[in-house]
Amino acid sequence: MAILSGCAAMPTPRNLADAQYQAQQVQGQEGMIGRCMRPPVPAALAGLTQVNPAQLSRASDLLAPGDRLNLQVAGDKDQLTGTYVVAPNGTLLIGGAVEVQAVGRPRAEVARDLRQQLVRAGYIRDLPDNLRLQLAQANGVNVSVEGAVFYGGQVTAGERGDLVAANIYNHPANGDNNGGRTLTSALRAAGGIRPDAALATVYVVRGANYAVLDMGTAITGGASVDPQLAAGDRVIVPSLGCFQPDFVKPSAVTQPGIRVYMSNLIRPATSNANAAIGKDSTNIPYGTRFLQGLVASNCVGGSMMNAQRHAVLISRNPLNNHSIVIQRSIEQLVRNADRDGMDPYLMPGDAIACYDSTAQSVTDVLGSMAGFVTPAVLLSSVTH
């Protein structure tokens, strides 16, 4: 009887009153929890000058650390002519003696200053068009992203893999087009925007200036502004303070897939491979709901003895960082027509756990008891 007492249903998980941030997390309530509120202007913009977003387009020509540049000097015998890389401190060192600030400046402006310094240092003569500085490879740019994104902090927009970088290096050309040095790429590198993001007012800060951009069409479709970013830019995504279900899908500003932790304890397997829980089931499309995740973790179907099984979803409210644990009857999610009102969306880092039905638990317990009884019977037979 003591062993069978373990078959009782688990107590309903308790949560803080403000832990819920999806209406579907409160069983039977569709809609939004809380009201969408217009966010205030970030305090970080105090004292800065607002500019037209079109001015950010010049960043496509702004140099960044790691950019490779080809320098050609007329009449030079490979003393100055060659390929140079912008240093981490933002400078370009030529000939071991002439140094010019390069990061955040247009290539043509850097070429003009470099020529003047080389003339003053006596390396070249003051003749027109005797120096050319061409972009050979545009590296990714380091920017900061903060606010209503899943993983804010320093990110690299336009980071290229080793194979792409090697291909560019082995097939040199005049100029390079790194299409990843954009605002949308930076947002995806920060884990994508959260469902509470205020996409109509995204701020990009560059030096003493900032611009306000409406990135809503990145979710709804249509033409959108997607400026090039420069090294050191700061992106701020305010929060509306409410959950927007329409934002929970793959897009230009969200991730195509998310990582979810899964635990399948229905007849525990010896490994995740035997339970069919691997990278293909833990990496799921963004926009997947709880029930779909349960199918991926093999918690749905099988013997009717498991018809009363339950599952829990472990998540965290990104607005206040409070954790929430939600228990659902898998049978209700499968059978009820109003399942959408109690079937939450899965967020990055969520966890799913399955629990056997009472009938299946009794079967397992009886099997375990038989495992204890059988050796005892055999031992008794041997001793007698």
Going by pLDDT thresholds of 50, 70 and 90, the confidence category of residue 352 is very high
Strand 257-259 relative to strand 209-213: parallel, antiparallel, unpaired?
Answer: unpaired
Q: What is the DSSP string of 193-243?
A: B-TTB-TTSEEEEETTEEEEE--THHHH-S----PBP-TT-EEEE-B-SS-
Strand 82-85 relative to strand 257-259: parallel, antiparallel, unpaired?
Answer: unpaired
Q: What is the CATH number of domain 65-137?
A: 3.30.1950.10
Going by pLDDT thresholds of 50, 70 and 90, the confidence category of residue 213 is very high
Residue 284 DSSP class? E
Q: What is the pLDDT of residues 103-141, one digit of tens each?
A: 989 999 999 999 999 999 888 888 888 999 999 888 899
If one compares 334 and 373, the residue with the highest pLDDT of the two is 334
pLDDT for residue 364 is more than 50: no
Going by pLDDT thresholds of 50, 70 and 90, the confidence category of residue 356 is confident
Q: For the chain, what is the mean pLDDT?
A: 83
If one compares 350 and 174, the residue with the highest pLDDT of the two is 350
* 76 in Cβ contact with 94 (< 8 Å): no
pLDDT for residue 52 is more than 70: yes
Range 43-59+140-241: architecture per CATH: Roll (3.10)
Query: Partners of 101 in the beta sheet?
Result: 91
Among 21-35, 62-76, 330-344, name the one with the lowest average pLDDT: 21-35
Residue 379 DSSP class? H
Q: Where are the beta strands (DSSP E) in the chain?
A: 49-50, 68-73, 82-85, 91-94, 98-101, 131-137, 141-147, 153-157, 202-206, 209-213, 234-237, 257-259, 261-263, 283-285, 310-316, 323-329, 351-355
Spatial CA neighbour of 328 closest among 21, 12, 29 = 12
> What single-letter amino acid sits at 110?
V
**Average pLDDT value for residue range 170-192:** 82
Going by pLDDT thresholds of 50, 70 and 90, the confidence category of residue 360 is very low
Going by pLDDT thresholds of 50, 70 and 90, the confidence category of residue 4 is very low
Residues contacting residue 161 through CB under 8 Å, at least 6 positions apart: none
pLDDT of residue 61: 81
> What single-letter amino acid sits at 361?
S
Spatial CA neighbour of 107 closest among 69, 55, 72 = 69
Share of the chain above pLDDT 90, in %: 50
Give pTM, 2 decimals. 0.82
Spatial CA neighbour of 284 closest among 338, 243, 212, 345 = 345
**Average pLDDT value for residue range 352-374:** 56
Q: What is the C-alpha separation between 73 and 119, in angstroms, rounded?
A: 12
pLDDT of residue 362: 45
pLDDT of residue 282: 81
- Look-up: residue for tokens 């228990």? 327
Among 125-134, 169-178, 237-246, 255-264, name the one with the lowest average pLDDT: 169-178
**Average pLDDT value for residue range 167-196:** 82
Number of neighbours of residue 60 by Cβ within 10 angstroms: 17
> What single-letter amino acid sits at 236?
I
pLDDT of residue 302: 63
If one compares 115 and 306, the residue with the highest pLDDT of the two is 115
Q: What is the DSSP string of 230-265?
A: -TT-EEEE-B-SS--GGG-S-BTTB-SEEE-EEE--
pLDDT of residue 384: 56
Going by pLDDT thresholds of 50, 70 and 90, the confidence category of residue 377 is very low
- For residue 374, the surrounding DSSP H or E stretch is helix 358-383
* 106 in Cβ contact with 67 (< 8 Å): no
Query: Partners of 193 in the beta sheet?
Result: 149
**Average pLDDT value for residue range 149-158:** 94
Q: What is the C-alpha separation between 189 and 21, in angstroms, rounded?
A: 24
pLDDT of residue 36: 86
Domain boundaries, the chain: 4-35+256-363, 43-59+140-241, 65-137
